[in-house]
Chain A
Amino acid sequence: GAVVSQHPSWVICKSGTSVKIECRSLDFQATTMFWYRQFPKQSLMLMATSNEGSKATYEQGVEKDKFLINHASLTLSTLTVTSAHPEDSSFYICSAKAGQGGSSSYNSPLHFGNGTRLTVT
């Protein structure tokens, strides 16, 4: 089955530093990847939609200058949390959709990475 690899699985950083999280589709091409944030006992919240070769689309309330997204290839998207602060501590999860999109893909599952636990001290 389709596998999405996310790295690192956990990271601890000091306040003010930047952290990069990678999301790779290992055995399929993903023109679109999604980045989510999940706080304890809460739903996954979509942060942004990452499209290969173009700018990411951010959800309302998500600062694009703070959460930099790059989707330079069909198998890799990165999320960089810039100038991290303790309130950015969360579980970040990416997902990817196989195929080129279109209505036939709407009913296909999203494949999620295993998440990155970010702790900012």
Chain B
Amino acid sequence: KNQVEQSPQSLIILEGKNCTLQCNYTVSPFSNLRWYKQDTGRGPVSLTIMTFSENTKSNGRYTATLDADTKQSSLHITASQLSDSASYICVVRLTGGGNKLTFGTGTQLKVEL
């Protein structure tokens, strides 16, 4: 069982709409949680990084939240654009794990006209 679970697995929304992606993790203890955007056939690009003490972090139209008590994170995308179509990956880094990262399976987002 993956220690980082993401939902939904895939999502289709209309351009201009907002959406929220979920990430639940069981990795513990962790030092930070990251959201990456991966376009098809490309490497992931960092959107946000939050330490365990942070609750929210924004990067333009992307806002990530973190609840370390319930071990949940969300990524909210505002006013979606066609270019937001990609896989969004939640990644958790273990404390004391060097750079050992645990990757979620991603949410495939498609933004349509």
**Interface residues, chain A, CB within 8 Å of chain B?**
4, 6, 32, 34, 41-46, 49, 91, 93, 95, 97, 106-115, 117
Contact = CB atoms under 8 A, between A and B. Distances in A.
B106 A43 contact: yes
Contact of B44 (A32, A44, A108): A44
Given A106-B99, A110-B101, A112-B45, 6 more contacts: A44-B44, A44-B89, A91-B41, A106-B93, A111-B46, A112-B43
A41 B32 CA distance: 24
B34 interface: yes
13 contacts: A6-B43, A32-B99, A43-B89, A45-B103, A46-B100, A49-B98, A49-B99, A95-B43, A109-B49, A110-B46, A110-B99, A112-B44, A114-B43
B93 to A, nearest CB: 7
A4 B43 CA distance: 10
B43 A43 contact: no
Interface string B26-57: 00000110101000011111100101000000
Contacts of B41: 91, 114-115, 117
A113 B104 CA distance: 19
Contacts of A41: 105, 108
B34 A43 contact: no
Contacts of A44: 44, 89, 103
Nearest to B54: A107
Contacts of B104: 43
A40 to B, nearest CB: 11
B20 interface: no
Contacts of A45: 103
Contacts of A97: 99
A8 to B, nearest CB: 13
B2 interface: yes
A42 B105 contact: yes
Given A4-B43, A43-B2, A109 B34 contact: yes
Contact of B32 (A6, A46, A106, A111): A106
A4 B86 CA distance: 20
